[in-house]
């Protein structure tokens, strides 16, 4: 499927804006809308390519800059030691309330986008973005969420908060959840994955987990940890997940409109 893409500045109530990469199918129509979060490096080449690839399967993808209060618009942080330090520092300076507020702004933007099918909102993300997507799943209008090696979910580490209680709030997730991990990821070891699984089961969340024999950030197609085969399998799993959930959502919406 051929796509189009652009950068847009999504306005915020504080008078600012969120620089956002948008990718969507070129063919006119209505498609599910996905809020896709980056890792700590923001909208780098690998992230933009992931958005474009996902849009090519029939989704409207919106990827926001997560440090819009700290960094100049358009900054993609380099994949080097200095960049990692900068990205982690920015994350550590950001209150979770700021992440949450911007999440709602972006979800509202997608809901109002002319190419987004009513009632078909989802989320996803990588690394810190996987944790942010987990919190996005707590919004009642988010039907499906895919979290890739989300850091800090098991131990509460996110932003400048000591512990924002993401895992404790798992019962607020009403849509379906897909969690994808690397077995060799030191940031979320087996014990951490087991803790997340136990909490989601106790909260009655509809979820699935997949673990690939891969490292942290194995889907980032730059650097020594990239695993092409695991990436393709995980990406296919995500597409199948979103299509199944949103097919049910669009059928339900069509039935509602037909009966009105």
Contacts of 19 (CB under 8 A, 6+ apart): 7, 8, 9, 43, 64, 65, 68, 73, 74
Helix (H), strand (E) at residue 133: helix 128-136
Q: Which residues are catalytic?
A: 127, 185, 216
CA torsion sign for 168, 43, 113, 57 is negative
Beta bridge partners of 124: 36, 146
Residues 40/90, Cβ–Cβ less than 8 Å: yes
Buried b (16+ CB within 10 A) or exposed e, 22-37: bbbbeeeeebbbbbbb
Please calculate the CA angle 47-50-55 and round it to the nearest 5 degrees: 130
Find the distance separating the first CA and the last CA of the chain, reported in whole Å.
33
Provide the 3-class DSSP secondary structure of residue 194: helix
Sheet holding 3-11, edge to edge: 3-11, 17-25, 60-64, 31-37, 116-126, 142-148, 176-182, 207-212
Q: How many CB atoms lie within 10 A of CB 1?
A: 12
Helix axes 96-112, 128-136, angle to 10 degrees: 60
Q: Which of 217, 251, 232, 210 is nearest to 46 (CA)?
A: 217
């Amino acid at each position: 499927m051929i796509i189009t893409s652009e950068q847009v500045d999504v306005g915020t109530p504080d008078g600012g804006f969120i620089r956002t990469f948008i990718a969507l199918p070129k063919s006119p129509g209505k498609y599910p809308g996905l809020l896709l979060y980056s890792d700590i490096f923001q909208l780098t080449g690998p992230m933009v390519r992931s958005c474009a690839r996902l849009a090519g399967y029939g989704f409207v993808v919106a990827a926001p800059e997560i440090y819009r209060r700290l960094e100049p618009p358009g900054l993609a942080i380099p994949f080097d030691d200095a960049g990692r330090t900068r990205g982690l520092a920015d994350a550590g300076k950001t209150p979770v309330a700021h992440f949450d507020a911007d999440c709602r702004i972006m979800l509202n933007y997608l809901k109002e986008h002319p190419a987004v099918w009513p009632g078909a909102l989802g989320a996803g993300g990588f690394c810190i973005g996987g944790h942010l997507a987990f919190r996005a799943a707590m919004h009642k209008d988010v039907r499906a969420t895919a979290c890739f090696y989300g850091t800090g979910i098991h131990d509460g580490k996110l932003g400048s908060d000591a512990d924002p209680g993401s895992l404790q709030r798992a019962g607020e997730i009403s849509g379906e959840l897909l969690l994808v991990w690397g077995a060799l990821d030191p940031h979320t070891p087996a014990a951490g994955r087991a803790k997340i699984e136990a909490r989601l089961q106790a909260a009655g969340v509809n979820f699935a987990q997949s673990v690939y024999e891969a490292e942290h950030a194995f889907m980032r197609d730059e650097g020594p940890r990239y695993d092409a085969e695991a990436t393709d399998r995980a990406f296919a799993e995500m597409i199948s997940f979103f299509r199944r959930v949103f097919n049910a959502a669009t059928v339900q919406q069509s039935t509602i409109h037909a009966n009105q």
